[in-house]
């Protein structure tokens, strides 16, 4: 699913964009690896070779040897394949590319905090609250398990991990849904084979391994995020695709609005912007004021309680309500009459077109004719239009369509 396009951009490109902002991961050519199935290995190689910004090496793309007919049981297989083929024995950030965080996700915060805490870390999110039926299922965000965290700490500690599906309405206040981004110490990854060789729940992904880590007493911290998108099923993918397009339009609208508000930002230098230095100062001041305004607006939004989570939840209400309405309409959709089912059977004979002027076959919604439209009637030797031409919108150009002199005798010439 990593090559699936959300708003015309592959999911893996979003993750690479997040990674480019992390100083600790630079250069990405040496720190980023991709594990994929044998079925789409060639597609990932082609994607890597045609990147606009080449942040990947084809040597860093590995196949786990699995196919669609013999799928892998969990991400643990991918981690073991990666360690065997790359020889990497250090700490590891694991990302499930079947999922995607918000467009402005701050991956650097996760990477930096995980390095400072120097222990295994998970990303978690609060379960969705009460929502209309069809918007969120009670188990929608539990693909990676549910954990209990101590939210009184500055860096919440994971105190309990459950591999069982829990109804969101039955969760306690300290329960959180685990998100598809992890940080494992090298000493923890050494236990991976031991856990899955003895576990009967290998099909549950990394959940048995995470439960083992928490139960063993090893310190596990958590990073709180707002939301994540699932692109593994059709409805969730359509929602992610439309929301990312909506978010991009909103960001562009806000940027344009901010630009209109900056019209007075260079008044101080308007009179003295005679040199390149003065113009640069004026531009720097304009950018500084725009940044200050955007930051103050963001602080205002945070104080008012608005967040990305509120934005995406509100959009989800509208999206899934429209989706449910579309499904209902499809169930009651009237069949097209048989006489209209085949367009080739339509008895339609087009009118003959004039060789010079534009003529129309549409008798409904007729607009006022223009300079090149066929006139309604002709008169006179000079081809002038009569009053039957609508609105008299014409200009006589002196074009002669017949003999210019009249053969009719004018009796007034006899006097």
Residue 241 lies in a domain: no
Name the pLDDT band for 379 (thresholds 50, 70, 90): very low
280 with 375, same domain? no
User: What domain range includes position 319?
Assistant: 257-331
170 with 264, same domain? no
Using CA atoms, how far apart are residues 72 and 64, in angstroms rounded to an integer? Answer: 8
42 with 173, same domain? yes
Contact between 323 and 235 under an 8 Å Cβ cutoff? The reply is yes
Q: What per-residue string of b and e applies to 254-283 under the rule 16 or more CB within 10 Å gives b?
A: eeeeeeeeeeebbeebeeebeeeeeeebbe
Contacts of 77 (CB under 8 A, 6+ apart): 64, 66
Q: What is the structure's pLDDT at 81?
A: 83
Residue 97 lies in a domain: yes
Contacts of 201 (CB under 8 A, 6+ apart): 163, 207, 208
Q: What is the structure's pLDDT at 224?
A: 87
Using CA atoms, how far apart are residues 326 and 331, in angstroms rounded to an integer? Answer: 9
Using CA atoms, how far apart are residues 25 and 39, in angstroms rounded to an integer? Answer: 29
Torsion of the alpha carbons at 74, 79, 82 and 84, rounded to the nearest 10 = -100
Contacts of 325 (CB under 8 A, 6+ apart): none
227 with 263, same domain? no
The answer to pTM > 0.85 is no
134 with 207, same domain? yes
Using CA atoms, how far apart are residues 33 and 321, in angstroms rounded to an integer? Answer: 39
196 with 270, same domain? no
294 with 327, same domain? yes
173/118: higher pLDDT: 118
Total count of domains within the chain: 3
- Give the pLDDT mean for 387-404: 53
* DSSP run (H or E) holding 213: helix 207-215
| Average pLDDT for the chain | 73
* DSSP run (H or E) holding 294: helix 276-303
Q: Write out the two tokens for 240.
A: 């992610």
Q: Is the dihedral of CA 159, 162, 165, 170 positive or negative?
A: negative
Q: Is the pLDDT of residue 43 over 80?
A: yes
16 with 112, same domain? yes
189 with 305, same domain? no
Residue 196 lies in a domain: yes
Q: Is the pLDDT of residue 36 over 50?
A: yes
312 with 392, same domain? no
325 with 179, same domain? no
Residue 250 lies in a domain: no
Q: Is the pLDDT of residue 100 over 80?
A: yes
């Amino acid at each position: 699913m990593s090559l699936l396009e959300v708003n015309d951009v592959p999911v893996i490109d979003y993750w690479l964009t997040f990674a480019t902002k992390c100083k600790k991961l630079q250069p990405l050519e040496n720190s980023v690896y991709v594990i994929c199935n044998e079925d789409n290995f060639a597609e990932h190689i082609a994607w890597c070779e045609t990147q606009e910004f080449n942040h990947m090496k084809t040597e860093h793309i590995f196949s786990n040897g699995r196919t669609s007919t013999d799928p892998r049981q969990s991400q643990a297989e991918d981690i073991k394949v990666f360690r065997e083929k790359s020889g990497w024995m250090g700490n590891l950030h694991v990302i499930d590319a079947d999922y995607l965080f918000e467009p402005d996700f701050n991956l650097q915060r996760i990477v930096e905090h995980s390095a400072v805490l120097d222990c295994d870390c998970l990303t978690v999110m609060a379960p969705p609250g009460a929502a209309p039926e069809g918007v969120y299922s009670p188990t929608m965000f539990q693909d990676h398990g549910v954990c209990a965290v101590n939210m009184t700490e500055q860096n919440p500690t994971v105190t309990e991990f459950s591999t069982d599906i829990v109804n969101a309405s039955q969760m306690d206040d300290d329960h959180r849904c685990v998100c598809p981004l992890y940080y494992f110490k090298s000493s923890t990854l050494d236990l991976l084979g031991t856990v899955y060789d003895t576990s009967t729940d290998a099909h549950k992904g990394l959940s048995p391994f995470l439960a083992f880590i928490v139960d063993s007493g090893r310190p596990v911290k958590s990073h709180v995020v707002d939301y994540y998108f699932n692109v593994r099923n059709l409805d969730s993918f359509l929602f992610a695709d439309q929301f990312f397009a909506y978010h991009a339009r909103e960001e562009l609208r806000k940027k344009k609005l901010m630009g209109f508000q900056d019209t007075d930002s260079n008044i101080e230098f308007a009179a003295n912007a005679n040199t390149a230095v003065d113009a640069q100062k004026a531009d720097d001041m304009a950018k500084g004021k725009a940044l200050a305004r955007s930051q103050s607006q963001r602080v205002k939004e945070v104080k008012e309680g608005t967040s990305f989570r509120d934005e995406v939840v509100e959009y989800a209400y509208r999206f899934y309500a429209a989706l449910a309405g579309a499904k209902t309409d499809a169930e009651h959709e009237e069949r097209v009459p048989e006489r209209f089912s085949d367009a080739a059977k339509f008895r339609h004979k087009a009118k003959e077109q004039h060789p010079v002027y534009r003529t129309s076959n549409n008798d409904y919604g007729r607009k006022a004719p223009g300079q090149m439209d066929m006139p309604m009637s002709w008169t006179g030797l000079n081809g002038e239009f009569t009053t039957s031409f609508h609105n008299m919108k014409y200009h006589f150009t002196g074009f002669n369509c017949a003999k210019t002199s009249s053969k009719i005798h004018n009796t007034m010439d006899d006097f």
